[in-house]
Amino acid sequence: MRRALCLSALALTALLPVAASAQRAISIATLAPPGSLWTRTLESAARELRRRTNGQLTIRLYAGGIQGDESEVVRKVRTRRLDGGALTATGLQHIHRPVLAYQFPALFSSPEAFLRSYRAMEPEIAAGFERAGFSLIHLSPSLGARMFSMQEIRVPTQLAGARPWQWTDDPILPALYAEAGATGVPLALPEVLSALQTRRIDTVYAPPLAAIALQWSGHVRYMSERSASGSLSAIVLSRTAFESLPPDQRTTLREVFAQSATLARPAFLRAEAAAEQTLLTRGITRMALTPAERAQWVALFARVRARLARTLPDPAWVQRIQAAGGS
């Protein structure tokens, strides 16, 4: 009997490392600042994922750009130093470049057309990420950026006298500056605040909520009247990391992020509207353009879209996503 008990104890002990090894922590990086609404949403999803998997699947979140700019995050995922990232379209285009077209200025006639298009084309976008070795866990629409500046920039030619920021990962701003006759200052996103403080740059692009969270708003005086574009952001994992999970955990992971985004969307919309009002109370002026001034920007954006479309693997993709939105 004693021998049988000892053998049973040894057998149970042998099983313990196997149970422990079943636990998995997924490493995800984001540029979102710690404590921001974006990071809090990711942390909420992480808690729900831990709860629903009984602690067997967790998320290790690296916020605030500590893993580098988005292109660096993509490189780290490819070399298996990270499992994934929460990326904007600027980072996503390093995986599947066609997704960048959703950020082309004034591509859609309305926010509703933008939403219709991305929903219709999401399966095809996801397939493109799979071919590139990534799994698209959740794709979300977001508001486009406003232009913030120290001086009024009412028409495109006034950009030539500014020192505008150019995100080193972003191909859209260089095209816009080239068409406007301006010269951008290339900087990674974490470098922007110090560059504003030292006046190395005086013009930046961001949604109002991000301009506050990143502390850029304290160094500008003017804000453009509205965004000319939307954007996409996504949670992505390497296919290797995603497919290493049991099927039930893959399903739960996608469900948790989809639920989190749905629950957070009203809060983001309220926060974005509140952020704009906060900026106005802090003395930032929202520029109201005349029809003639607005027409100059519309013409500029058309030239920028034409230039950028030539750099896509499939130039006809732009027409396809416009048609999907009914634009």
- Report the half-sphere exposure of 102 (CA within 13 A, side-chain side): 34
Helix, strand, coil fractions of the chain, as percent rounded to 5: 55, 15, 30
- Per-block mean pLDDT, blocks of 10 residues, the chain (327 long): 42 38 87 94 97 97 95 97 95 94 91 91 96 96 89 95 93 94 94 97 95 95 87 95 97 96 92 94 95 95 93 89 88
- The greatest distance separating any two alpha carbons of the chain, rounded to the nearest whole angstrom, comes to 95
Q: Is 23 left (phi over 0), alpha (psi -120 to 50) or beta?
A: beta
- Quote the pLDDT of residue 19: 39
Residue 4, token pair as written in the block? 């049988």
Give the model's pLDDT for residue 180.
Answer: 95
Which residues does 117 contact at the CB level (< 8 Å), separation at least 6?
A: 102, 108, 321, 322, 324, 325, 326, 327
- The pLDDT assigned to 211 comes to 95
Q: Name the token pair of 240.
A: 């290797």
d(CA 246, CA 249): 5
